[in-house]
Amino acid sequence: MKSKFITTIAIICAACTALNISCNKSNLDKLPHGPTEETYFTQESDFTKAVLGIYAKMTDLFWYNGGAGSTTMTIFLLPGDDITTNNSTEEFEQFGSLQPGSDRVGYFFKTWYQIIARANVVLDKINTVEDGIYKTPGLKEYNEGEALFLRGFALYNLWNYFGTAPLDTMRVTSNDQFTPPGTTGTQLLDQAINDLTRAADLLPQSWDDNNRGRVTKNSAYGMLGKALVFRASASKDNGDYTAAIAAFNNISGISLIPDFSANFSADSENNNESLFEYQATQAFGLDNVWLPNDFDNAVGSLSVYWGFYDNNFALFGTSPYFATTKLANAFNPADPRRDHTLNAADRSITKYIEGNKLDQVGVGSVNNYRLLRYADILLLKAEAILQSGGSASSAIQLINQVRTRARNMVAGGTEPADYSVSETDKNTIMTWIMNERFLELAGEGQRWPDLRRWQMQGIISLDNSFFSSNTSTMSFQLPKSLNLPIPSSEIDVNPNVQQNPGY
């Protein structure tokens, strides 16, 4: 069936032919036929739509995008040692192929800045809104908090993947803002932490059911604590660990849900363990996975592509991704999480697939991508306590909460067993934390940022042998591979940005 957009164009062309109208410049109506900035932002609903537009831009990170080879999901699913593209030769993300001219890298970089730009516009408009526009008590503050959270989330990811990139916190209104300089050190994380701190003060504790899935105070405190742990890993500042613990302690009303696998099912989205999810859906006209959703039309992509993990709905026979042998062997066979993460027989991924729900065309999925959940928080808090010199037994108890949830999924289960709270060796406990993050968060796109920061901290030493892979395909190099290259498209237009070393 033709889209409504195409049908409308056809009708207009037919009408022009029938009426013998010459479509030249002399009889074109040059006035804008949609809202302008002067006519928009005049009512509360305009601000709500603008805020939701920031969330919507996240689609570009998760949609099918014209084929598995061009989607950006490969960038955060593959690097590391949990997921591989081949179940026999163990081929990982080829670090050497991620060069400045890579379409994936350019698209990934651009999308984060488009999210930031939308957030900056909303923040600018909220700061200058006239009295009386907002009618709902507190909504102005909530909207500001949402924009700050999403900008902070974008900056956090830019730091984790590029290390350095321009810091953009103001709406672009003049030409001299087109070429901002790159950042150094943790400047991107610093701003993310500032944004998330302010967001936590402004956001509501919860939303009503019609707005379920929008970020809350818990979302902001969770991401704030996470960003602080990551900055501490780079700066080795114990003060950041202490601040992270304080942020995590502000989270309330959240708990591990009994069923680990329910965290990845379309039927149990935004549950009590979830702090932040991409809200996958479908356009009301058609979820066309070949088209973006950045236009006023009923057709476009709002879904997530989980075809990497399930060949049953991957186009063109695209092979799914697999668990590495390292991951498969790391699970105790009696650990109930194993079979909800991978198939032991062929190492295919079951996470997100067991509870999947496809869209109309059977390529995209409406199963939300979980971006932050409480199990992640518990393990980060354990790490912050341990690294800041806190109680070792308290850190171990947090790890054991995650393991107990898994064990209790089976009546009378014995694995994974609790760790001894009498252990005092810091290196041993840190190894427990790292292993638990490996098992609990496998295949969720968390592995590479963890490895990158532990390398910075000096806890691990990344090289080809660490990944236990086919090293001839990886092209992993230190320190080059710790950061993606700055895209050529950015270098070409911004002389104030320097390329990352090694590219």
Residue 187 has pLDDT above 70, yes or no: yes
Q: Could you tell me if 47 and 412 are in contact, meaning their C-beta atoms sit under 8 angstroms apart?
A: no
Question: Residue 466: pLDDT band by 50, 70, 90 thresholds?
Answer: confident
Euclidean distance between CA atoms 396 and 416, whole angstroms:
14
Mean pLDDT score across all residues of the chain: 87
The DSSP line for 183-225 is --TTHHHHHHHHHHHHHHHHS-S---GGGTTS--HHHHHHHHH
Residue 353 has pLDDT above 50, yes or no: yes
Q: Residue 314 has what pLDDT?
A: 52
Q: Could you tell me if 467 and 437 are in contact, meaning their C-beta atoms sit under 8 angstroms apart?
A: no
Q: Could you tell me if 322 and 347 are in contact, meaning their C-beta atoms sit under 8 angstroms apart?
A: yes
Rg over alpha carbons for the chain, rounded to the nearest Å, is 24
Contacts with 345 (C-beta within 8 Å, 6 or more apart), sequence order: none
Q: Residue 22 has what pLDDT?
A: 34
Euclidean distance between CA atoms 320 and 314, whole angstroms:
8
- What three-state secondary structure class fits 288? coil
The DSSP line for 16-70 is HHHTT---SGGG---S-SS--TTTSS-SHHHHHHHHHHHHHHTHHHHS-TTSTTT
Q: Could you tell me if 221 and 244 are in contact, meaning their C-beta atoms sit under 8 angstroms apart?
A: no
Contacts with 22 (C-beta within 8 Å, 6 or more apart), sequence order: none
Q: Could you tell me if 440 and 337 are in contact, meaning their C-beta atoms sit under 8 angstroms apart?
A: yes
Q: Residue 261 has what pLDDT?
A: 97
DSSP 84: E
Instruction: Residue 452: name the closest of 157, 152, 91, 60 by CA.
Output: 157
Euclidean distance between CA atoms 94 and 310, whole angstroms:
21
> In this structure, are strands 274-278 and 83-84 parallel, antiparallel, or unpaired?
unpaired
Question: Residue 72: pLDDT band by 50, 70, 90 thresholds?
Answer: confident
Contacts with 277 (C-beta within 8 Å, 6 or more apart), sequence order: 213, 269, 270, 368, 369, 370, 371
Residue 312 has pLDDT above 90, yes or no: no
Euclidean distance between CA atoms 215 and 491, whole angstroms:
34
Domain 45-493 bears CATH identifier 1.25.40.390:
yes
Q: What is the pLDDT of residues 437-447, one digit of tens each?
A: 999 999 999 99
Residue 483 has pLDDT above 90, yes or no: yes
Residue 129 has pLDDT above 50, yes or no: yes
Q: What is the pLDDT of residues 75-100, one digit of tens each?
A: 888 888 999 887 676 666 666 678 89
